[in-house]
Amino acid sequence: MAQPATEPAKGSCSTPPVHTEDAVTSVHPVDEKLHPSRLVPAALQHIAAMYAGVVTPPLIIGQACGLDIAARTRLIAASLLIAGVATILQTIGVKGVVGNRLPFVNAASSAGIAPILAIAETNSKGHQLPAIYGAVMVAGVFCLAVGPFFGRLLRFFPPLVTGVVITLIGVTLMPVPVGWAQGGDKSAADFGAMKNLALAAFTLVVILLIQRFGKGFVKQVALLFGLLVGTLAAVPFGMADFSGIKSAPLAALPTPFAFGAPVFQPAAILSLCIVMLVLMTESSAGMLALGEICDRRADARTITRGLRTDGIATLVGPVFGGFPTSAFAQNVGVVSLTRVRSRYVVAVAGGALLVLGAFPVLGAVVSLVPMPVLGGAGIVLFGSIAVSGIRTLSEAGLDDSSNIILVAVALGAGIIPLAAPTFYAEFPAWAQTVLGSGISAGAIVAVLLNLFFHHLGTRGRTAPALKSS
């Protein structure tokens, strides 16, 4: 018979027994607090990946509205600040209320640029931004009102559907790094020049070599090293622009309603509410994708809290000069590529955005990275997103003919805007906004076909091919 355990004598140096519950308890990678030596470089990768995307909407919209350099700088600073606040709110959040608590980046979305420019064209100079901001604020309220329903619709997004959407996120975003690799500015005389393509290819090769021969953490920050080496290689050839540092003010905090009080125009509001639906679809897809990558699947409540963050940032952002806020797919690619899944890494990146927004001269340092260098790194980023989608599809029962047809048609619908940008030119404006985004078009088709094949008229039977759904 086993002898009963005796209590160690007082003063004994023996190690106390380890309870089984304590032994198996571990921190999930999403909640892991990394050492600064790992956390800071990982956060820098996220900043490098997102920076161009964050400043692109205010830069383009500011130029379209005829703002001078100083005003455009304020607009960019405001965009960085709002992105920082939204990202921190998303990653840290208030448990059960707001924030999806995933390594998720929120910032002004480029998807809203086209309709915002249309609003600018219908208003006279000086009245453009007030009309835009009025519509954006109402779109934020719309997101807050509709967001909870997106979470409840999660059962209509099985791996079969999310795999299609994740794949399309990577595929439809690929023209972005391709444009960066050519120089970024299509109106520039050297757009597509061999020197730009060579620099992009050099950056890509550096990243590939680090991935092949690097060890441990070095491999995880391959993207950051690629950007650094690519930028240094660009300096001798005069391809790194230092003018931004010279002209940027040291500090520039945004002033509420600096561009005028918001004006509410029905047509502008309707167009941006439609845009917000597209952004909500893309944001939900991003959360689902990130949940798969992080091994913490995004449930209905997670998506609702995430969309609530989008709505708050979109509503409050225009007060300081922000635009419609949504997920940043390129940072999903960073998580997928590096496998650093800690949300605190992205929270630190959000804090850095706040600093960059408050001190534009620091933001100008980050903007030193030439567009071709970003292009070479972006090919890896966006391609890795598509790979994540393919991995999800591989678990979604593609041995079933109905599922094959569903994926084929949804991918086709998503690629149409990419292959033929004018395909929907004769459609109503609202339809062009929705279908003109390959991500939203593919998502809508995938959801509808999933309903048709696996929900309508299927009561009482289970489709074997949809076990993972």
pLDDT digits (tens, 9 = 90+) for 1-47: 444 444 444 444 444 444 444 444 588 888 888 888 888 888 888 88
Cα–Cα distance for residue pair 148/132, rounded to 1 Å: 25
Pull the structure tokens for residue 140.
């934020």
Cα–Cα distance for residue pair 220/223, rounded to 1 Å: 8
- Indicate the residue type of 142: F
* Percentage helix, strand, coil for the chain under 3-state DSSP, each rounded to 5: 70, 0, 30
Is this structure's pTM higher than 0.75?
Answer: no
CA 223 to chain centre: 17
* pLDDT the model gives residue 381: 75
Average pLDDT taken over every residue of the chain: 81
Q: What is the mean predicted confidence (pLDDT) over 396-405?
A: 87
Pull the structure tokens for residue 399.
């041995």
Pull the structure tokens for residue 302.
């997670």
Cα–Cα distance for residue pair 148/307, rounded to 1 Å: 8
pLDDT class of 86 with cuts at 50, 70, 90: very high
Question: Does the structure show a pLDDT above 90 at 330?
Answer: no
Q: 266: closest CA among 274, 256, 258?
A: 274
Q: Return the axis-axis angle of helices 266-293 and 438-454, rounded to nearest 10°.
A: 70
Cα–Cα distance for residue pair 316/324, rounded to 1 Å: 10
Dihedral (CA of 406, 407, 408, 410) sign: positive
